[in-house]
């Protein structure tokens, strides 16, 4: 309650517990409660989707806290530097569903991609992938639906022969990650990997 009031007054609060804190980041207690993820083959995650990070991501995505994108992007970029080996040419954000971005005003994977690209000195390639119209997917079985929801975009040819990292905010089953990677793989990149900010444990 106090935290919410301070936030309204522009005083910094912790992203995880919303208590007063010296800056808009995780307080010491929340920082130490972050659970690091790691590498599962070509799928990587910075952290597990639990505790303070889960609360921060939910506020960011569902409660319109666009300003959380700065510190969460910084956290993501730091993990990307740890986990993603070079060479790397492009970072491709998982594409948004149109209506979602419209409602939210920003697309979390774009924010993360920009932060990681700055830290790693590579380019963000936004239009390699597109989200297909979900209304057309009605009646398909679940597996082909997950696959069909991501398709190649106008910039897909640019990934040929390049090292690509696909990024998303939260990985749940990995179906979206796999779908995005298979569309990239069909364009014959030098390599394709995936990094989420957080993975559901
Ligand atoms: Zn905290």
Sign of CA dihedral 140, 141, 143, 144: negative
Both 24 and 40 in one domain: the answer is: no
Domain count, the chain: 2
Three-state DSSP state, 11: coil
Please write the tens of the pLDDT for every residue from 169-182: 999 999 999 999 99
| Residue 24 to residue 97: CA distance in whole angstroms | 29
pLDDT at position 103 is: 73
Position with higher pLDDT, 62 vs 166:
166
Please write the tens of the pLDDT for every residue from 4-62: 665 566 788 999 999 999 988 999 999 999 999 988 778 999 999 999 999 999 999 98
Nearest to 151 by CA among 136, 166, 130, 135: 130
Long-range pairs of 28-34 with CB within 8 A, sequence gap ≥ 24: none
From the CA of 11, how far away is ligand 1's center (Å)? 14
| Residue 65 to residue 74: CA distance in whole angstroms | 16
The CATH number assigned to the domain holding 148 equals 3.40.50.2020
Residue 153 pLDDT > 70: yes
Both 27 and 110 in one domain: the answer is: no
Both 42 and 54 in one domain: the answer is: yes
Position with higher pLDDT, 9 vs 183:
183
Both 13 and 103 in one domain: the answer is: no
From the CA of 20, how far away is ligand 1's center (Å)? 8
Both 81 and 153 in one domain: the answer is: yes
Both 6 and 62 in one domain: the answer is: no
What is the domain extent for residue 24? Answer: 1-33
Residue 149 pLDDT > 60: yes
From the CA of 201, how far away is ligand 1's center (Å)? 21
From the CA of 54, how far away is ligand 1's center (Å)? 12
pLDDT band of residue 164 (cuts 50, 70, 90) is: very high
Nearest to 56 by CA among 21, 9, 80: 21
| Residue 150 to residue 162: CA distance in whole angstroms | 20
Residue 87: cis peptide before it, omega within 30 degrees of 0: yes
Chain mean pLDDT for the chain? 88
Both 94 and 1 in one domain: the answer is: no
Residue 128 pLDDT > 60: yes
Both 101 and 25 in one domain: the answer is: no
From the CA of 14, how far away is ligand 1's center (Å)? 5
| Residue 10 to residue 28: CA distance in whole angstroms | 20
pLDDT band of residue 142 (cuts 50, 70, 90) is: low
Both 100 and 16 in one domain: the answer is: no
| Residue 149 to residue 179: CA distance in whole angstroms | 8
């Amino acid at each position: 309650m106090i935290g919410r009031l301070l936030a309204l007054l522009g005083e910094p609060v912790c992203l995880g517990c919303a208590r007063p804190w010296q800056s808009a980041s995780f307080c010491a207690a929340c920082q130490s409660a972050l659970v690091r993820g790691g590498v599962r083959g070509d799928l990587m995650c910075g952290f597990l989707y639990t505790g303070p990070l889960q609360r921060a991501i939910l506020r960011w995505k569902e409660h319109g806290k666009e300003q959380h994108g700065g510190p969460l992007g910084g956290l993501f970029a730091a993990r990307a530097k740890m986990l993603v080996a070079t060479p790397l040419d492009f970072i491709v954000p998982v594409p948004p569903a149109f209506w979602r971005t419209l409602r939210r005003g920003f697309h979390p994977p774009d924010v993360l991609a920009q932060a990681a690209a700055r830290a790693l000195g590579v380019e963000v390639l936004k239009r390699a992938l597109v989200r297909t119209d979900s209304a057309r997917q009605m009646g398909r079985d679940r597996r082909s639906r997950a696959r069909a929801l991501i398709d190649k975009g106008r910039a897909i040819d640019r990934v040929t022969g390049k090292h690509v990292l696909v990024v998303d905010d939260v990985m749940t089953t990995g179906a979206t990650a796999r779908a995005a990677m298979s569309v990239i793989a069909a364009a014959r990149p030098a390599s394709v990997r995936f990094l989420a900010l957080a993975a559901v444990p």
